[in-house]
Amino acid sequence: MGNFDNEINRRRTFAIISHPDAGKTTLTEKFLLYGGAINLAGSVKGKATARHAVSDWMEIEKERGISVTSSVLQFEYDGYCINILDTPGHQDFSEDTYRTLMAADSAVMVIDASKGVEAQTRKLFKVCAMRGIPIFTFINKLDRDANDTFELIDEVEKELGIATCPINWPIGSGKGFKGVYDRKSESIITYSDTLKGTKEGHTNVIPVSDEAKVTAEIGEAAKDKLFEEIELLDGASSEFDIEAVRNGKLTPVFFGSALTNFGVEIFLKNFLEMATTPLPRRSGDEYIEPTEDNFSAFVFKIQANMNKAHRDRIAFMRICSGKFEADKEVTHVQGGRTMRLSQPQQIMADERKILDEAYAGDIIGVFDPGIFSIGDTVCTPGMKVCYEGIPTFAPEHFARVRQLDTMKRKQFVKGITQIAQEGAIQIFKELNSGMEEIIVGVVGVLQFDVLKYRLENEYNVDIRLEPLPYEHIRWIESSETDIASLTGTSDMKKVADLKDRPLLLFINSWSIQMTIDRNKGLVLSEFARN
């Protein structure tokens, strides 16, 4: 196997998904610590002077201690090259989260052991299930009092409709958390509380067959409980089946505490063995193999003004096949032109490194002069490839945007259009009114704050947002429908999106069916096909 194939096969690209506060950022930092990408894990929340987490870069995130935008982190560990796509876990997450999952080959789901599966996790899980990508579960925060372990496992199965296979099992929780039982080696791994930001700290491995030693290590009561649970577990849980894991039908479950750094490396090592190399991607009726010689990639995210020092706009691309080289010409399929991707870089939060090369599975950021859209394909000239578009998800909250200073009309239109092209918000306009009346739609209400903040800070434009009561949106799919003569319900509003596609907003869900019934041949869709 040549160096080219070897480079691709050692890559693992995954997204981390979780509910707010499940400890995702801490876990990400510990991974980076093992990979030597950072020397001291910074605490996310804390005093104003404390270091902020590597993956949180926008001011609004620093103020709130949450990740609003997805960032991309790459590090080396044990011969693997790992790309982590960090997704916002806040309940007010945006479409960014959905799209990031489109660029990953597998997902790591972080669950708080005292809270179990939460609403946000379900939503993200659905996107993973839709794509059939493998899901690995890390049940975190065992350094605090946790729910019953069997109940946690049961909840993952019931709530997410996926079989579970615990790879290890916790011994106690909170102050009584002693370590984990490793099912494969049939031994217990105990730990000493490590320094929070370092990877030192020693672990002991004791075979469970050595009962006297186990008792001496964890005490009689904990030993009896563990032996009882092992017996139950062997009878109750699914068999480990790597094929089922890779098809997204079975999730391996691990336990630990990212904060005290216990169980993180055990998880990382197992994950790297079980997770797949970069996967083939669909283009039309065929699948393009990552080891195909020709370079191809798709844009899954666009981000403007990431760094105060660089007034710019970056298109993030997931490389699907071949090798990227900085000076090579590529075809932008949707734009129908040949170009060089300029300033190709790997972005570690707001620090950048110019790249000479990258391989299938990697994520690169390239300078976007305003020509790329989410879902676009770039490839080696002459290659016939066009990756499936990324669906536009239906916003759930709407507001009318009022500009406070009408003299700044130009900056306002430029700013709001750019932010919409990044996909953080969707903008709609009254039918046939140009950009006079603008309605913004978002997946999570935090995006309204982000919009206001960015327009003020990046475009020097103040706005007022007036919430609107609409909750449901439908694109009109039937081309023969005349929108002007469409008869709807009194709570319906006719608008158009940025690409001038007509759509309808409704306050009540029952109005949707009523409108379909009243208009022969009308076909409505929750997604806009890109």
- What would the pLDDT profile of 112-134 be if each residue is shown by its tens digit? 898 888 766 777 777 787 778 89
| Same domain? 94 vs 191 | yes
pLDDT score of 3 = 85
Q: Give the whole-angstrom CA distance, residue 48 versus residue 34.
A: 26
Residue 213 · residue 220 · CB < 8 Å: no
Q: Is the pLDDT of residue 29 over 90?
A: no
In the numeric block, the tokens 């993956």 are attached to 55
Give the CATH number, domain containing residue 270.
3.40.50.300
Residue 389 lies in a domain: no
**CATH code of the domain covering residue 521:** 3.30.70.3280
Q: Classify strands 438-442 and 397-403 as parallel, antiparallel or unpaired.
A: antiparallel
Mean pLDDT of 481-496: 86
The tens digit of pLDDT for each residue in 290-309 reads: 999 999 999 988 876 555 55
Is residue 430 pLDDT above 70, yes or no? yes
Q: Are residues 422 and 291 in the same domain?
A: no
Shared domain for 301 and 214, answered yes or no, is no
Q: Is residue 180 part of a domain?
A: yes
Residue 268 pLDDT grade (very low, low, confident, very high; cuts 50, 70, 90):
very high
End position of a domain, from candidates 321, 349, 379: 379
* Same domain? 266 vs 287: no
pLDDT of 250 strictly over 60:
yes
Instruction: Judge if 451 and 367 occupy the same domain.
Output: no
Question: Has residue 105 been placed in a domain?
Answer: yes
Stretch 97-109: mean pLDDT? 86
- Predicted confidence at residue 461, as pLDDT, reads 93
- Does residue 164 register a pLDDT over 80? yes
Are 243 and 320 within one domain? Answer: no
Residue from 196, 272, 192, 246 nearest 12 by CA: 272
What average pLDDT does the structure give for the chain?
Answer: 81
In a domain, 468, yes or no: yes
Q: Are residues 477 and 334 in the same domain?
A: no
Instruction: Return the pLDDT at 194.
Output: 52
Number of domains within the chain: 3
Tell me what percent of the residues of the chain surpass a pLDDT of 90. 27
Would you state the pLDDT for residue 40?
Answer: 43
Domain boundaries, position 158? 3-274
* Residue 454 within a domain: yes
- Mean pLDDT of the region 446-474: 89
Long-range own/partner contacts, residues 336-345 (CB < 8 A, 24 or more apart): 338/381, 341/366, 341/367, 341/378, 342/366, 342/367, 343/367, 345/314
Asked if 316 and 300 touch (Cβ cutoff 8 Å), the reply is yes
Q: Report yes or no on 387 lying in a domain.
A: no
DSSP 121: H
Over residues 404-427, the pLDDT tens digits come to 888 888 999 999 988 887 777 889
- What residue type is assigned to position 29 of the chain? E
Which one is predicted more confidently, 12 or 314?
12
CB 114 within 8 A of CB 146: yes
Domain boundary among 255, 274, 293: 274
- The residue among 336, 352, 379 that closes a domain is 379
In angstroms and rounded to an integer, the radius of gyration of the C-alpha atoms of the chain is: 25
Q: Does one domain contain both 345 and 472?
A: no
Higher pLDDT, 509 or 72: 509
Does residue 360 fall inside a structural domain? yes
Q: What is the CATH number of the domain that holds 286?
A: 2.40.30.10
What pLDDT band is residue 368 in, cutting at 50, 70 and 90?
confident
What's the confidence (pLDDT) of residue 365?
A: 85
What's the CA gap between 12 and 74, in Å, rounded? 10
Long-range contacts of 216-222 (CB under 8 A, 24+ apart): 217/178, 217/188, 217/190, 218/171, 218/172, 218/178, 218/179, 218/188, 218/190, 222/171, 222/172, 222/176, 222/178
Are residues 50 and 70 located together in one domain of the fold?
yes
**What pLDDT does 120 receive?**
66
| Average pLDDT over every residue of 200-218 | 79
Residues 444 and 326 in one domain: no
Beta-carbon count within 10 A of 495 CB: 23
Whether 178 is in a domain gets the answer yes
The residues, any chain, with a CB within 8 Å of residue 274's CB and separated by 6 or more, are: 134, 136, 242, 245, 252
Residues 168 and 20 in one domain: yes
User: Which helix (H) or strand (E) covers residue 169, if one does?
Assistant: strand 168-171
Pairing type for strands 250-255 and 163-166 reads: parallel
* pTM higher than the cut 0.85: no
Check whether residue 136 and residue 254 sit in a common domain: yes
